[in-house]
Structure 1
Amino acid sequence: MTLHPKGFDLSLGRIRALLEKLGNPQDRLPPVIHIAGTNGKGSATAFSRALLEAAGYTVHVHTSPHLVNWNERYRLGAPGGGKLVSDDVLADAIQRVEAANAGQQITVFEILTAVAFVLFAEHPADAVIMEVGLGGRLDATNVIAEPAVSLIMPISVDHQAYLGDTVELIAAEKAGIIKKDCPVVIGFQPFDAARDVLVSTAERLGCPVSIYGQDFIAYEEHGRMVFQNGEGLIDLPLPRLPGRHQMGNAAAAIEAIEAAGFTISEKAIEKALTVVDWPARMQHLTHGALVDLAPEASEIWLDGGHNPGAGVVIAEVLGDLEERRSRPLFMITGMINTKDPVGYFEAFAGMARHVFTVPIPSHDAGIPNDELAAAAERAGLSAEPVHSVANALKLLRDTWPADEIPPRILIGGSLYLAGEVLRDNGTPPR
């Protein structure tokens, strides 16, 4: 058996043994905001970080996967805003974790998660935001005994091979991050069955629980975001991240940060909503090497969403953009074979004029572009396979009629593809 047997091998035994050898750094962390969910956990992480930093707190952040550079997984808290871990500090932590593991069977994600605990225990900060990798119950991050809050974002069907094939089973896995007597915040849930599993778990474990739509909510009014909970009502600017769904994500983060015991003023919340940043989630690409290949004045969006639930949300965002300015929509899509491509593409039926499907060179589980094109056609879309994102953009540029409004282009279907695009475009996350 190799050192890293599989990408996914869900278990807590190996990481607990490794952390024991490292002196259990996970027990020496600042208060932890632990975030799970099928969709929206990355956005909730971004909002939580923005809220804490706007209020003057220092915060460590763990996210996965990285888009371009491994350093993106670890943001170390610092006055004035956290910074991605430096190469030398990261290399030293990885080396020490590998040495402690001493060749025992383990996965790459477990090694990387142990690195997060080592880094966050050794560098002072006021808070840690820990994003779950996959699922919850058996995810390597789930060795935190007493989170300041467990935040669970929207749950839908994804990773069925590992988590189960119904929303109830998947919700039960995500609910594994709920710990006895620790606060729980449940974000918007598209499926009542999932919400019921989460609520019953929280109640069984005696947790203070706050539920979207019952204990807190957010909605748009007069071009502003209204947030309301038991403390009252706050009038706020719309979040900087595009899409109506981001109001729900922002609301869940606000509620979670308060449930974790942090004090955030209304002024800090306002600032956070206007500065929040989250690469590859409806990211507007306005410049770069790839952007230069598209038809002049094209509107280009990048989103790593890759399941049917994400497809619905992205299509809604694009629909809102269409209301403001009509443009023909083209998609450039690559996906890996653990996803449901037809379910993803169905969200765009009747919206997209054409889909270019591309391979994902950086991942050996990418769906071949001809198979992906066939999946798009089964969802009712016009599609063709091409060799690369650059190839698709050049094809559009070379055939675009001079008298037609420039297109709106959505590049997406995979965070791995999004990472390649940011790298090739020369605009990696900072």
Structure 2
Amino acid sequence: MAEHSIVFSFFLIFTGAAVLASAALYTRQPLLVAYIVIGAILGPYGVGSISDTALMTDISHIGIIFLLFLLGLDMQPSHLVQMLKKATWVALGSSLIFMAIGYGAGVLFGFTQLEAVIIGAALMFSSTIIGIKLLPTTVLHHRHTGELVVGLLLLQDVIAIIVLLVLYSGQSEDTSWFGMVKPLLALPVLIIMGLLLVKHVVLKLIQRFDRFHEYIFLLAIGWCLGMAEAAQAMGLSAEMGAFFAGVALATSPISQYIATSLKPLRDFFLILFFFSVGASFNLGLVGEIIVPSILLAIAVIALKPLVFRFLLRTIKENDKMAWEVGFRLGQISEFSLLIAYIAAGSAMIGQVASHVIQATAILTFLISTYVVIFNYPSPIAISDKLRRD
């Protein structure tokens, strides 16, 4: 994409998304459908109006970072620690179960052993974007649901980092044991560093200049992106750095003002994320991947709520709560897309296997969104009764 065409590209994306979003609202469809569809239409495998999807993907990644930062602002550190302890068994158990299901399905569909293993790894995770975007943030009686969902997603992020490290090791010169373990050792360093900087630097600046709203907005963005970059430098994910940047600020009274200020910015970048998901998908491979993708998507949608419900009941969560958390996590993840891209780029899997993972992700994003917005409270619910910000 030439530099001078970025404004025109944004015009196509947001005008097209606005038109399709209007149609989606009139026909009572979730807005995420409009964003993915406009990506498929305008992307290189559609009419080709926007060919450089890599740039859009990089830009849209900022939306995920802001999403995790805002999530952290709503999490008290003490509650987070308790929830992580409680959810560890559920996260590990569900990951192993879906690894086995994905591997078995991959073998059944005739993929190689390595491709089947990577398909299994892609099924282990649920979407941070879908899980959190559809979660009410301001309703007190849903706070426990939110803590459970967030705790599970964070633990899945740690597992995803380990999987990505294994995949990256095939491309990296540092294949030592320390090179693999270093990011996990870096996590407590990142957390302690974040807490100390907030206490001794960030909060002091906020208290001194709290009359200047523009400065608070600027400082919040700088803090979020700074921690995201620090996490990446340590071998962790930028999303994890942004989340702990938010958690470190959560005890401050200013946290809710920051959260409200950054929501429009987050939504801007998330539209680009879903656009890039649709634009990156090669429509020419649909004939080869349609059957395994649909069957895998059905398996994920049907089995994830059952598995999470069963495992959550083992830690004494009530049945209604366990079902709701299961349905909210009833899809695969943006990490699954990343696994597909990296594995295909390093020739660990073929294009067909990669697109099976991508198609399964898109289908489960869409179907699970329908399930949640028609049955549970969410910010984008169609029914006024279920709509909660």
TM-score (norm 1): 0.23
Greater fraction of residues in strand: 1
Q: Which has the larger radius of gyration?
A: 1
Greater fraction of residues in helix: 2
TM-score (norm 2): 0.25
